[in-house]
């Protein structure tokens, strides 16, 4: 499992609901910590993936949205090479020097690994990195599969790059000498090398590129992307947190990746032009699936089918503005069916669900007005994502909370999320 980086702040330190207020709040906490205001605040959102799970590290397709929960870092450039950090939500301080970066095997706290990793990789890439004073806080739930770690990595990278670009002679935002694709890959590399999770590229990319009320159709091989209007009309996105710690997520995640790579190596005997599962059509897979060990066959089947579901989902949403009201309702119902099929595949073939996730999806699917429900994230706990008619949102929250508690003895957390813009830098 990814190490906890920050606790959810909203229940602990009065983190404001509005993003602008959150930025001001973070700046004020910086002033209380370091005695004067910060120069800027970076803010990076978490995400929820509507469909396309475990396809990103197979160079496939994903369809996430950024959500209005963020990791914020208030910072001020230092004249030396020191990095002084206050993780507000755990009330923890840590300091290091950019010239002698500490090893993550040393006594560095878990949350600092992301900052050490970003600083290390930026310097290795030849980027100028300056010392900073910084306060870190946020309200992306931890361990829920909503990409708190990607939000922290992205916000950290923007913080170091912005501080190094601040000249003190201009009121305009500095131009950062790195593009979003390069920045996303660097933040992904932090996860690989400094956290030990071989994650895909989706989380970092949506945190950087999210747009309000639009999902991101992302090709995880080329990083080509397209923003797709959601046009959910009278429906909303509701996220339900199982409150189950994802203790198996990291180790099982890496096992699933290894099984997919094993499948590719075997199938290349008959399909020599392939390099990842996204290159295999369902028709070709059915020809050769019996050549695979049973477990490998299940893992590969899920990924190949999921890529097809993402393409179908995007096609459905792209044409909704051309449809009549009746056709629009039917296309949204079709989108929900794809979400349901995605969860079924994750449960049965990829086997990354758990009892609590299945209970939540079963409850949701039996509520009139819910058109689709699936797990989201790496699995083995975390959250489900649901598309719910606005008229039944209150009923949905009441029934899910009551039924889930009855079946599990756990009180879930339910977030009604807006689709947010991507990472930003706010100057003072």
203 is catalytic: yes
Domain ranges for the chain = 19-230+423-427, 235-417
Q: What are the pLDDT digits (tens) for 245-282?
A: 876 666 788 899 999 999 999 999 999 999 999 999 99
Q: What are the pLDDT digits (tens) for 146-155?
A: 889 999 999 9
Q: What are the pLDDT digits (tens) for 91-107?
A: 999 999 999 988 766 67
Q: For domain 235-417, give the CATH number.
A: 3.30.70.890
Q: What is the mean pLDDT of residues 161-176?
A: 65
With a CB cutoff of 8 Å and minimum separation 6, the contacts of 75 are 30, 38, 39, 40, 41, 42, 132, 133, 134, 135, 159, 162, 163
pTM: predicted TM-score of the whole model, two decimal places: 0.88
Topology, domain 19-230+423-427:
Ribosomal Protein S5; domain 2 (3.30.230)
**Confidence tier at 79 by pLDDT (50, 70, 90):** very high
Pick the catalytic residue: 56, 203, 279, 358?
Answer: 203
Do 279 and 273 form a contact (C-beta atoms < 8 A)?
Answer: yes
Q: How many CB atoms lie within 10 A of CB 185?
A: 15
Q: For residue 44, what are the β-bridge partners?
A: 71
Query: Residue 189: its pLDDT value, please?
Result: 95
Do 349 and 213 form a contact (C-beta atoms < 8 A)?
Answer: no
């Amino acid at each position: 499992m990814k190490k906890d980086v920050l606790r959810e702040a909203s229940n602990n330190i009065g983190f404001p609901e509005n993003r602008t207020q959150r930025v001001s709040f973070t700046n004020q906490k910086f002033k209380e910590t370091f005695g004067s205001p910060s120069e800027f605040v970076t803010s990076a959102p978490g995400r929820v993936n509507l469909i396309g799970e475990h396809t990103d590290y197979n160079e496939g397709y994903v369809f996430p949205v950024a959500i209005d929960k963020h990791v914020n870092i208030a910072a001020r450039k230092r004249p030396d090479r020191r990095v002084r950090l206050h993780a507000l939500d755990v009330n923890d301080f840590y300091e290091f020097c950019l010239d002698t970066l500490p090893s993550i095997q040393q006594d560095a706290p878990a949350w600092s690994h992301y900052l050490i990793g970003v600083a290390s990789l930026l310097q290795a890439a030849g980027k100028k990195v300056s010392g900073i004073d910084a306060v870190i806080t946020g309200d992306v739930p931890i361990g829920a599969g909503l990409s708190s770690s990607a939000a922290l990595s992205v916000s950290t990278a923007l913080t170091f790059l912005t501080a190094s670009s601040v000249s003190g002679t201009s009121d305009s935002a500095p131009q950062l000498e790195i593009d979003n694709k390069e920045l996303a890959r660097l933040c992904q590399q932090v996860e690989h090398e400094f956290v030990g999770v071989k994650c895909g590229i989706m989380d970092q990319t949506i945190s950087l590129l999210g747009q309000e009320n639009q999902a991101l159709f992302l090709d995880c091989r080329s990083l080509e992307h397209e923003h797709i209007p959601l046009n959910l009309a009278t429906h909303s996105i509701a996220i339900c947190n199982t409150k189950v710690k994802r203790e198996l997520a990291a180790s099982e995640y890496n096992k699933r990746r290894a099984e997919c790579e094993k499948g590719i190596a075997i199938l290349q005997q008959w399909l020599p032009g392939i390099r990842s599962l996204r290159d295999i059509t369902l028709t070709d897979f059915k020809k050769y699936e019996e050549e695979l060990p049973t477990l490998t066959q299940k893992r590969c089947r899920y990924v190949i089918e999921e890529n097809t579901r993402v393409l179908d989902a995007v096609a459905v949403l792209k044409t909704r503005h051309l449809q009549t009201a009746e056709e629009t309702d039917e296309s949204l119902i079709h989108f929900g069916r794809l979400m349901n099929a995605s969860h079924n595949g994750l449960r049965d073939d990829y086997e990354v669900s758990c009892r609590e996730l299945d209970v939540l999806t079963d409850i949701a699917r039996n509520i009139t007005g819910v058109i689709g429900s699936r797990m989201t994230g790496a699995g083995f706990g975390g959250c489900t994502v649901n598309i719910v008619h606005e008229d039944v949102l209150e009923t949905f929250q009441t029934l899910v909370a009551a039924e889930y508690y009855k079946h599990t003895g756990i009180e879930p957390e339910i977030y009604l999320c807006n689709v947010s813009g991507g990472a930003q830098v706010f100057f003072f």
